[in-house]
Structure 1
Amino acid sequence: MNATGHGHILIVEDEPRLAAILGKYLTSAGYTHHWVADGLQALPACRTQHPDLVLLDLVLPGMGGMDICRALQRAGGHPPVIMVTALVEEIDRLLGLEVGADDYICKPFSPKEVVARIGAVLRRYRHVPQAGGRGPLMLDEAAYCAHLHDRPLDLTAVEFRLLSLLYHAQGHVFSRNQVLNHIYTDHRVVTDRTVDTHIKNLRRKLAEAGGNEEWIKSVYGVGYRMEL
């Protein structure tokens, strides 16, 4: 985090005018920023700039936003990502979330809205410290990370909030609407199927780390609950 106390933002955007406008608003809000216009420059910039958040366009020359997001996921310990795109179809929203995006903004947008979304995502990542665990699963609310059998789970911020919700209220059944209200705090419109996608990904990651997909149970016609 920079000296302003706000953060350092990496802008990955191939439209110079739009990048300049975003940079101006970020500076006014107290952020520092670095801009790259080519997708191939994004990953090296993450390694050298150590951004607190990446503002990532979906359609880029060199390397697309989806591939960049997947590469950040594979690398682990990556900063949160907000995807920016003119593609508004539901499949694009779901794909963006599946590859690890923490938020999704559609063009055209207000630069003020972008700055507000950045602040919201960073606040979630800098949550009040609280650590806890029971049995093989350990959650660190401050660092937004979880370990299973002492192995780190590579979770997005949305997946971590979902796991935290279910884990700390084991046995309680949450409807899809309740889950959506918890994992998205900006009241954007997403479908119930978005929850199903996150549940599927979370189950898979738990199983890959030596857990059991059945820890998260579907309650037909109602929602989901967790039982370790």
Structure 2
Amino acid sequence: MTIPHREHPLPPALSGTAQAPPDRPTETPTTAGPDRPTETPTTAGPDRPTETPTTAGPDWPAEEPPPARPDWRERLTLATDLALIGLAVTVLALPLVTAPAALATGSAAVHGRYSDGRLPPWRPLLRQYRRSILPGLPGLLAAVVLVIDLVAVRGGSVPGGPVLLAVTALATIWLAGVAALVLVALGRDPDLPWLTAARWAGNRPKCATALAGLGLIAFFLALAVPVTFPVVIGFHLFAIHMVSDRLAR
């Protein structure tokens, strides 16, 4: 009598393949296909999401971008407009008694040009020109007296010699700077009284001195090439506005 052979299963530790416990199904690894992306296991708990560590850089202050510079076309347009303003001022000042009014009107035109980027309308400029003829006469008279005094001292008609000539020339140049600052004030506010503009200019001696130097340079440029006199006027008015915006507050 033979006893039938019964095969007993090997324990899991000795078998080649591990068997899943009865209450936990075996999980089959899935391979990500084209329609299912591979998921990366995370170690974060259910109440705390995974945070990616970031390295904080230095807290540098934000720098403003540099202002855009005008190209050659804009500069050429500005130069043309300044030349036209200088030519118009020269024509309006031909009667000589209207020279202060013409300069004040040209100053307003230059201020409008570099503030708005275009020439201002001509009707308000003509109104300012007509209103400025009479208030500008005292300034013209003072300029004529200074020139006569300078010529008299230089010719020897007045005693004093070279010392008095140098003092008179320096006073004339500085007063020309004050007059240029008066033109700047009238260009900024055409309704400003001339006497108020003169007081405002007299209280800023540093700016008046700088404008006096600019006026001296413009005088010698126009004297060297007289045909450029109208162009020099327009560019000089532009220069005194730019300098006074930085020095006269």
Same fold (TM over 0.5): no
Tell me which of the two structures has the higher relative contact order, counting C-alpha pairs closer than 8 angstroms and 6 or more residues apart: 2
Q: Of the two, which has the highest radius of gyration?
A: 2
Choose between structure 1 and 2: higher helix proportion.
2
TM-score normalized by the length of structure 2: 0.23
TM-score normalized by the length of structure 1: 0.25
Choose between structure 1 and 2: higher strand proportion.
1
